[in-house]
Structure 1
């Protein structure tokens, strides 16, 4: 991996850590990619002012803490005697979200709604039903005053994001990996905000974000390179997600979108260090935050430093899916749901739903043979 961020031995960096230095001295904000209370509390100490979550993360958190969530899920089942496994599991996710929201209330008040929010993701099984996505987004937004709701960046999901924004829901695009997806979402959010403005409804305290899952774009391009026997410098593949994030940020800045880019799905430090200085969100998993804090990397502003032109040229010449992901007009909105990263990730989210159902089943209907 090419090292680009300057190493620093400055006293303040040693005592504060790179993440706290970033949050104190640059406009770039830190969110935690988990609603786990212990992780979120520690991240808040590093200047974290928000959190994201998804079905995989929620399932992992519940599975990792059976001593906490086993009794709680049994209590939910007793409280909801006619509920099925899925409804019980999603109630656990809602409970987790509400508790995390309380930890973020001070940041929510400090930033007047722009930060201090906890993401909860709409059920992936609703991805084909725009009206259901909007209805669930409205439901989730009512859980706490500082909720932000994730909706997939597909044609159906983007229309749902516009409508949900109009209804006052703060949205966060998910299943989003490319510049054309991010731009289409940014435009949809603007339309929703403009509709609210036209009716005199509040938009000043709203804080929508648009995720680009840079690491998952890298994952997909590595799959394409292996599948199609493409020869390319493997180090270049670590820069594809960074390039998309920087390009997306540039377009959002030029067009004056009120939503912010959010970097997620970390695979290398550049998906953090190369974005420092931008008015955007980085949302690493807690384990990556620990790595960043121990890295000694100086969080200097690099958002306006372009990715090496020879890397962009090589990726563009050899991998058509990079062009689709990097160019603003690389895909039409109708093509989003067929992009490789979208299919892979949506399948993972759907599988996590099934895994959560199974986990709940084992708790409320335990296997008598074990």
Structure 2
């Protein structure tokens, strides 16, 4: 049996792609998208009609040139997500504009709008995960949205403080970024000889996993942002793993037994303290890697969102 099918015994596999052809090939349960992937996806010929529809929607519903582009941008996100859902049994993650990551109320409004747009296409909100950056404001927004049965995926998660705050807020799912944590340690010359068992990104997810299971948190842990197959295999048994098509291909073409590395402990205790906003900001601030990677990730996704809007603007 190939390693991809072996891995599916322990972990729910999610395709980190907006390309339907790649999603069909690997038969994941769910799929995740982000502004960078949407930017690539709109250039795929088979999505031309979805883009044209988004432009038409923007023209019809926008009150100004800027608003028309914003409306079209939201619509292409929903159109692509709806197309993906035709080929997977689970959910699709749709990420809202990273530029509002520090505004709780705007995140709530945008999330509700995206969900309503899906529902207008006949897609149940139970099939959608709204992706938000794991800032304090977005975590609080997710807590409010969960009360309206709008499930969220808190992404760009690098610190233990982020993970703890998400669990305490009842967030549906988190995406700790393995590869980007590794990148930071490598770029800062803190990794001398690579060993997946000591990979700082892998160790971060393992710590979160054991903490969640120990405290019986229901929040799903979905490892993300992988650089190699070894990182993935070292996290076999994690609730979910979202994997790029390149690495899904390698797993599918590799034979061999996959050993389950993450197993829930049998200790269930109640957490004795809850992070306040000031505690969260202080603990997160103590992790220089997390501070730098969170801000860098928000900037990157914001830049790709702006590129997407520029492309859509040129189509008007």
Is 1:246 matched with 2:198?
no
Structure 2: give runs of 5+ residues left out of the alignment: 63-67, 265-274
Q: Identify the match of residue 68 of structure 1 among 46, 64, 68.
A: 46
Asked if residue 163 in structure 1 is aligned to residue 144 in structure 2, the reply is yes
Matches within 5 A, 1:33-44: 33-44=16-27
Q: Which residue of 1 aligns with 2:218?
A: 258
Secondary structure of residue in 1 paired with 2:59:
coil
Structure 1's unaligned 5+ residue stretches are 1-12, 108-115, 191-207, 306-327, 365-370
Partner in structure 2 of residue 212 of structure 1: 176
Moved more, 334-343 or 54-63: 334-343
* Secondary structure at the counterpart of residue 153 of structure 2: strand
Rounded to whole Å, the distance in 2 between the matches of 1:77 and 1:117 is 25
Q: Deviations over 1:28-81 (max 9, x none)?
A: 11011113211111121xxx1111111111111113x1x334454334323442
**8 A contact 2:14–2:32 mirrored in 1:** yes
Aligned to 2:270: none
Q: Distance in 1 between matches of 2:175 and 2:3?
A: 22
Q: Check the 8 A contact 1:86/1:356 in 2, yes or no.
A: no
Aligned residues: 285
Shift of the alpha carbon at 1:117? Answer: 0.9
Alignment partner of 1:20 is 2:20: no
Match of 2:12 in 1: 29
Give SS of 1:303's match: coil
Q: Confirm or deny that 1:117 pairs with 2:91.
A: yes
Taking only aligned residues, the RMSD between alpha carbons, in angstroms, comes to 2.4
In structure 1, the residue matched to 2:106 is 132
The residue aligned with 2:30 is: 50
For the 8 Å contact 2:167–2:217, the answer to whether it is kept is yes
Q: Equivalent of 2:280, from 333, 337, 340?
A: 333
Q: What is the CA deviation profile of residues 178-221 of structure 1, one whole-angstrom value per residue up to 9, with x for unaligned ones?
A: 2221121111116xxxxxxxxxxxxxxxxx21110111111122
**Structure-1 separation of matches of 2:216 and 2:187:** 35
Instruction: Give, in whole Å, the separation in 2 of the partners of 1:38 and 1:178.
Output: 34
> Is 181-190 or 91-100 further displaced after alignment?
181-190
2:65 pairs with 1:77: no
1:223 lines up with 2:187 in the alignment: yes
Are the counterparts in 2 of residues 76 and 88 from structure 1 also a CA contact under 8 Å?
yes
| 1:347 partnered with 2:307 | no
Are the counterparts in 2 of residues 101 and 147 from structure 1 also a CA contact under 8 Å? no
The residue aligned with 2:267 is: none
* Counterpart Cα distance in 2 of 1:213 and 1:188: 20
Higher-Rg member (1/2): 1
Work out the CA distance in 2 between the residues paired with 1:257 and 1:332. Answer: 20
Task: Answer with 137-146 or 263-272: which moved more.
Answer: 137-146
- 1:59 equivalent to 2:23? Answer no
Question: 3-state DSSP class of the match of 2:157?
Answer: coil
Secondary structure class of the residue paired with 1:283? strand
Q: Structure 1 residue 189 and structure 2 residue 163: aligned? A: no
Tell me the alpha carbon deviations over residues 129-184 of structure 1, each in whole angstroms, 9 at most, x when there is no partner: 10111122223334122111111111111111111112211111111122221121
Q: Whole-Å Cα distance in 1 between the matches of residues 75 and 164 of structure 2? A: 33
**Offset at residue 224 of structure 1 (A):** 2.9
